[in-house]
Copies of this chain bind each other. A is one copy, B any other.
Amino acid sequence: MDEKKLAIIATKGSLDWAYPPFILASTAAALGYETQIFFTFYGLVLLKKKLNLQVTSLGNPAMPMPLPVPVIMQTMPGMQAMMSTMMKAKMKKKGVASVEELRDLCLEAEVKMVACEMTVQLFDFNKSDFIDGIEYAGATTFFDFAGDADVSLYI
């Protein structure tokens, strides 16, 4: 049987939505899939050397909270930073790897990471802020790979 292929488009850059692309990609790679992630829009920040990812419950009423917090309280200064710190602490306590660790795992497993060139220019990102070992390309590169992939996921 030929090697299977997984193509992911990672478009989100919050702390919670940083996990799915790296968890799915590392799992697939461990199963022998040739895997590629195309980072675009807000997802591009997942490639920064120094990650400063944040999470918020605003706009996501399904986010589990230790205590119910009124929506307006969730808009107050410091709340987003607190929620982000709490999520990181919970992940660590539960033995879930950090985003950085999962990203390293993907790189070690030869998951190919492609940064959307157009988004880099649009958001005035500095390429020196990004990790090594990635490529810069356009959406056509995504289809070069996804067109023959067994599974394609837009995250």
Contact = CB atoms under 8 A, between A and B. Distances in A.
Interface of A: 4, 6-7, 9, 11-16, 19-20, 23-24, 27-28, 30-31, 33, 40-42, 45, 53-56, 58-64, 70-72, 74-77, 79-80, 84, 90-91, 94, 96, 118, 121-123, 138-140, 142-143, 146-155
Nearest to A19: B41
A139 B62 contact: no
Give the copy number. Answer: 3
B16 A41 contact: yes
A122 B140 contact: no
Contact of A153 (B28, B56, B77, B152): B152
Count chain B CB atoms within 10 A of each CB in A27, A45, A60 and give the residue with the most.
Answer: A60
